[in-house]
Chain A
Amino acid sequence: MSDVLASIKFDADGFMEDAKQWNKEVAAALAAKEGITLTERHWVVLDYCRKEYEAKGEAPTLRNITKNTDVGTKELYELFPGGPGKLAAKIAGLKKPTGCI
Chain B
Amino acid sequence: MKTFLILGGGTAGTMMAVKMSKKLDPRQWKIIVVDQEPSHVYQPGLLFLPFGVYQPQDVLKERRSFLPRSVEYIETPIERIEPEANRVVLGKDQRVIGYDYLVIATGATIRPQETEGLMDGGWRKNIFDFYTYDGAVALADFLKKFEGGKVVVSVAEMPIKCPVAPLEFIFLADWYFAKRGIRNKVDLILATPLPGAFTKPKASAMLGSLMEKKHIHVEPDFAIMEVDSGSNAIRSYDGREVPYDLLVSIPVNMGAEVIENSEMGDDLYFVPTDKETLQSKKYENIWVLGDAANIPASKAGAVVHFQMEPAVENILAHMQGKPMHAKFDGHANCYIETGYNKAALIDFNYEVEPLPGKYPLPLVGPFSLLQESVINHWGKLAFRFMYWNMLLRDIPLPVSNHMSMVGKKLN
Which A residues lie at the B interface, using CB under 8 A?
A: 61-64, 67, 73-74, 76-77, 81-83, 98-101
Check A98–B296 contact: CB distance below 8 A: yes
Q: A74-B237, A77-B223, A98-B296 are in contact. List 14 more A-B contacts (CB 8 A).
A: A62-B223, A63-B157, A67-B267, A73-B223, A73-B237, A77-B237, A77-B238, A82-B221, A83-B221, A100-B159, A100-B296, A101-B159, A101-B296, A101-B297
Chain B residue total in the interface (Cβ 8 A)? 17
Quick one: which of B275-329 are within 8 Å of A by CB?
296-298
Q: Which residues of B contact A99 (CB under 8 A)?
A: 158, 194, 199
Partner of B225, one of A64, A67, A73, A101: A73
Check B200–A81 contact: CB distance below 8 A: no
Partner of B298, one of A61, A63, A82, A101: A101
Partner of B238, one of A63, A64, A81: A81
Give the CA-CA distance A45 to B186 in the complex, in Å: 42
**Which 9 pairs from chain A and chain B are nearest by CB?**
A100-B159, A77-B237, A100-B158, A101-B199, A64-B267, A63-B267, A99-B199, A101-B298, A101-B163
Q: Which residues of A contact B200 (CB under 8 A)?
A: 101
Check B296–A82 contact: CB distance below 8 A: no
Interface residue B71 (Cβ < 8 Å from any Cβ of A): no
Which B residues lie at the A interface, using CB under 8 A?
A: 157-159, 163, 194, 199-200, 221, 223, 225, 237-238, 267-268, 296-298
What are 19 A-B pairs at a CB distance below 8 A?
Answer: A61-B267, A63-B157, A63-B267, A63-B268, A73-B223, A73-B225, A73-B237, A74-B225, A77-B237, A82-B221, A83-B221, A98-B296, A99-B194, A99-B199, A100-B158, A100-B159, A101-B163, A101-B200, A101-B297
Nearest CB on A from B372, distance (A): 21
Give the CA-CA distance A101 to B302 in the complex, in Å: 14
Nearest chain-B residue to A61 (Cβ)? B267
Nearest chain-A residue to B163 (Cβ)? A101
Nearest CB on A from B201, distance (A): 11
Nearest CB on B from A33, distance (A): 20
Nearest CB on B from A75, distance (A): 9
Nearest CB on A from B208, distance (A): 16
Give the CA-CA distance A19 to B252 in the complex, in Å: 31
Nearest chain-A residue to B200 (Cβ)? A101
Nearest CB on A from B306, distance (A): 15
Nearest CB on B from A14, distance (A): 15
Nearest chain-A residue to B239 (Cβ)? A77
Nearest CB on B from A51, distance (A): 15
Q: Which residues of B contact A63 (CB under 8 A)?
A: 157, 267-268
Nearest CB on A from B194, distance (A): 7
Give the CA-CA distance A67 to B254 in the complex, in Å: 15
Q: Which residues of A contact B199 (CB under 8 A)?
A: 99-101
Q: Which residues of A contact B267 (CB under 8 A)?
A: 61, 63-64, 67
Could you say which of A67, A82, A83, A98 has the most chain B C-beta atoms within 10 Å of its C-beta? A83
Give the CA-CA distance A76 to B267 in the complex, in Å: 18
Give the CA-CA distance A83 to B200 in the complex, in Å: 18
Give the CA-CA distance A73 to B116 in the complex, in Å: 12
Nearest chain-A residue to B348 (Cβ)? A101
Give the CA-CA distance A67 to B266 in the complex, in Å: 11
Could you say which of B157, B159, B237, B238 has the most chain A C-beta atoms within 10 Å of its C-beta? B237
Give the CA-CA distance A22 to B238 in the complex, in Å: 29
Give the CA-CA distance A76 to B223 in the complex, in Å: 12
Nearest chain-A residue to B237 (Cβ)? A77
Nearest chain-A residue to B297 (Cβ)? A101
Q: Which residues of A contact B194 (CB under 8 A)?
A: 99
Nearest chain-A residue to B221 (Cβ)? A83
Give the CA-CA distance A62 to B297 in the complex, in Å: 19
Could you say which of B159, B223, B225 has the most chain A C-beta atoms within 10 Å of its C-beta? B223
Nearest CB on B from A66, distance (A): 9
Q: Which residues of B contact A101 (CB under 8 A)?
A: 158-159, 163, 199-200, 296-298
Give the CA-CA distance A100 to B194 in the complex, in Å: 10
Q: Which residues of B contact A67 (CB under 8 A)?
A: 267
Nearest chain-A residue to B114 (Cβ)? A63
Give the CA-CA distance A83 to B237 in the complex, in Å: 10
Q: Which residues of A contact B296 (CB under 8 A)?
A: 98, 100-101
Check A82–B238 contact: CB distance below 8 A: yes
Nearest chain-A residue to B332 (Cβ)? A101
Q: Which residues of B contact A77 (CB under 8 A)?
A: 223, 237-238
Nearest CB on A from B355, distance (A): 15
Give the CA-CA distance A85 to B158 in the complex, in Å: 13
Give the CA-CA distance A98 to B199 in the complex, in Å: 10
Nearest CB on A from B330, distance (A): 10
Nearest CB on A from B356, distance (A): 18
Give the CA-CA distance A34 to B65 in the complex, in Å: 59
